[in-house]
Amino acid sequence: MVISWLSAFADVPEPRVEAALRFWAAVTAAVPAPPVGDQDEYLPLAGADEDRYLWVQRVHRPDGGWHPDLHVPDLASAARQAGALGATVVHQVPGLIVLDTPAGQPFCLVQDERERRRARPRRWPAGQHSLLDQICLDIPADAFDTECEFWAGLTGWPRRRTSDEFVNLARPAHLPLRILLQRLGSDDAGPTRAHADLACDDRPAEVERHTELGAELILVAEHWTTLRDPAGLVYCVTDRDPFRD
């Protein structure tokens, strides 16, 4: 499958949309653009020197989450490939197909072949740089191998297993987001889900910036910190180099 662009969508319940927009605009130094969609449900965020790859989506359900959108030049062919790999179509409108992976992670295929400009890391007043550049798929252990096969087959990207817990898909250089697959522990009985990751070169300074903007600290691990945004969405700040492709 040819993937021309990749977007991260924060699915936010209606009452929390404004809080999510304010927070993510501040976190990424982006400006909210006018909403699109039949019900103004898609709200893009982008800086002056980049194309849109982060969106807040207004949803009419009590829980939020994250999902990726894969932009493809041939929507029908991409949908057939996804179905052959085990995906299920949930909803379809002209130019957009909503699907679930074999383990139930939502994602979208979008008819789109335009070239775009990737975002670059931002430098913040404390001196650190950061960039939202990854969507991580959190997968129960018993579904992990199947989901790895699905995403590698769908994207055609080489797999790099960095540990028993993580598999990274090597993205093409023109795309703004990486895809990371994480095996959940046996103590996590939750469903397959996703979260966004930011790379930074000074994690303590970056985490402090986020908490000052209203994020809640959840967990400090060896290589990442997990937070919750003011709209209730979980995400991570990691030690990955924001300048490394």
pLDDT at 214: 98
Checking if the pLDDT of 38 tops 80, the result is yes
Tokens matching residue 149: 């096969």
Confidence of residue 245 (pLDDT cuts 50, 70, 90): confident
Tokens matching residue 159: 């797999």
Helix, strand, or coil here: 239? Answer: coil
Superfamily of domain 5-111: 2,3-Dihydroxybiphenyl 1,2-Dioxygenase, domain 1 (3.10.180.10)
Superfamily of domain 122-238: 2,3-Dihydroxybiphenyl 1,2-Dioxygenase, domain 1 (3.10.180.10)
- Where do the structural domains in the chain lie, given as residue ranges? 5-111, 122-238
Helix, strand, or coil here: 65? Answer: strand
Can you name the residues that pair with 147 across neighbouring β-strands?
none
Q: Are 57 and 108 in contact (CB under 8 A)?
A: no
pLDDT at 54: 97
Domain 5-111 identical in fold to domain 122-238: yes
Can you name the residues that pair with 134 across neighbouring β-strands?
178, 197
pLDDT at 167: 97
pTM: 0.95
pLDDT at 7: 97
pLDDT at 120: 93
The single-letter code of the amino acid at 102 is: P
pLDDT at 5: 96
pLDDT one-digit tens code per residue, 182-230: 999 887 777 899 999 999 999 999 999 999 999 999 999 999 999 999 9
pLDDT one-digit tens code per residue, 110-160: 999 887 889 999 999 999 999 999 999 999 999 999 999 999 999 999 999
pLDDT one-digit tens code per residue, 57-82: 999 988 999 999 999 999 999 999 99
